[in-house]
Amino acid sequence: MSILAATLTHLANNEAYHDLPYPPEMHDIANLDKSREAYDEISCWPGYAPTPLYQLDAIASEIGVAGIVYKDESQRFHLKSFKALGGAFAVARQLQQRILAETGETASIEDLLGKKHDAVVKNIVISCGTDGNHGRSVAWGCQMFGCDCVIYIHRDVSAGRKQAMEEFGANVIRVDGNYDDSVKQADMDASSHGRIIVSDTSYPGYMDIPRDVAIGYTVMLLEAVEQMQGAVPSHVFIQAGVGGLAASVCAYFWELWGDRRPRFIVVEPEQANCLQQSAASGKPVAVEGELETLMAGLSCGEVSLLAWEILEHGADDFVTLSEDAVAPCMRLLANNDPVIEAGESAVAGLAAAIVARENPDMALQLGLDESSLVFVIGTEGATDPELYRQLAKNQ
């Protein structure tokens, strides 16, 4: 009997460069040296600790793979998602650049934390559009380093998520429309009010700051590789919204492991599959409409251009996951030993791996068998506690 009944659609990437080394032109976007620098800075932030990496042995043996490793980002700082690493890191980088421009001094992370350049920093306003977790990271970074913050959310972002950003001192503005509309509104207002946009998605003319966000994410990969103690997974299933996370993981493992790198599978909700559709069209295409999904963090209709530059050739497969997998997979982890708190967007990669292995045709297409070692990231915990109780605990 299957442990997760759900549907996957699969697109093999005909443009994948699987057997080639990490392409030099991608070095400018992400590289291991930049990741190390980010690690050196982020590991100085108050409260830093590596998040756990779990072996999901019971689930692995039930579906018939050699192992599943699960990097649990529910415990990332007190923000409960991997996004804590990206937005706040890019905020720090922006403040350092502004301080250098205005004073000629290079501010260290200790200088920022110690508010050494308060006179400059307190006049800076950072802004972004978000569906929750990125905005929380940006708001937290602004509070930690002492600048102001204005966050734009769309109509479907829950009251709980809004409140979490306000608790970090952000002014939160709700716009009518979807995620992409909130990003556009933030951008327009930033131009008229002289704010700095720190976005997790990139588009023509706006590539540098999202690159810093993506480099921040790779800190969890540095940790994970150390925690895996030399093991190299055969498969990576990573959930995607705009693709920034997936691109970071893909680039990091590609440069690190070269042609030994795992098969890389991007997982999206059925209604918000902008990467899968872009791969099918051979160029970035936008998904219009409601982008309706329980997986709020993945509800994005437009790919990040930087992410596309890596995933266009770095991803091996693009799959979509049906909504009926989400709550059962959250419950599977809530009942795991040890208990794992996994929010709606956290489980997409794991759920897709389980569903794929339980479907013989799909398992064959993805090369999943009893020798496979699967790597997934539980990208968030209960970032919306009320929804988590309903879905994971049936309360």
Ligand X SMILES: Cc1ncc(COP(=O)(O)O)c(C=O)c1O
Q: Which residues bind ligand X (CB under 6 A)?
A: 81, 83, 131, 133-134, 200, 239-246, 297-298, 300, 345-346, 379-380
Cβ closest to ligand X, residue 120 vs residue 329: 329
According to DSSP, the residues that pair with 173 across neighbouring strands are 152
Nearest alpha-carbon partner for 317 in 361, 263, 362:
263
- Which of 228, 206, 234 has the alpha carbon at shortest distance from 66? 234
What is the nearest approach in angstroms of ligand X to the Cβ of residue 97? 23
Closest residue by Cα to residue 237 from 256, 271, 263: 263
Identify which of residues 262 and 297 has a Cβ nearer to ligand X in the complex. 297
3-state secondary structure of 380: strand
How near is the Cβ of 108 to ligand X at its closest, in Å? 28
- The smaller minimum CB distance to ligand X, of residues 233 and 241, is found at 241
99, amino acid identity? I
At which residue do the structure tokens 């608790």 appear? Answer: 167
- Quick check: bond before 338 cis, omega within 30? yes
Environment class of residue 323 by beta-carbon count within 10 Å: exposed (0-12), middle (13-18) or buried (19+)?
middle
In whole angstroms, the minimum distance from the beta carbon of 105 to ligand X comes to: 33
Q: How many residues does the chain have?
A: 395
- C-beta of residue 30 within 8 angstroms of C-beta of residue 218: yes
Least separation in angstroms between CB 98 and ligand X: 25
Residue identified by tokens 């421009």 is 101
Active-site residues, by number, are 83, 131
Q: Which is nearer to ligand X, 107 or 374 (CB)?
A: 374
* Minimum CB–partner distance for residue 265 and ligand X (Å): 14
CB nearer ligand X, residue 200 or residue 223: 200
CA gap 130, 156 in Å, rounded:
11
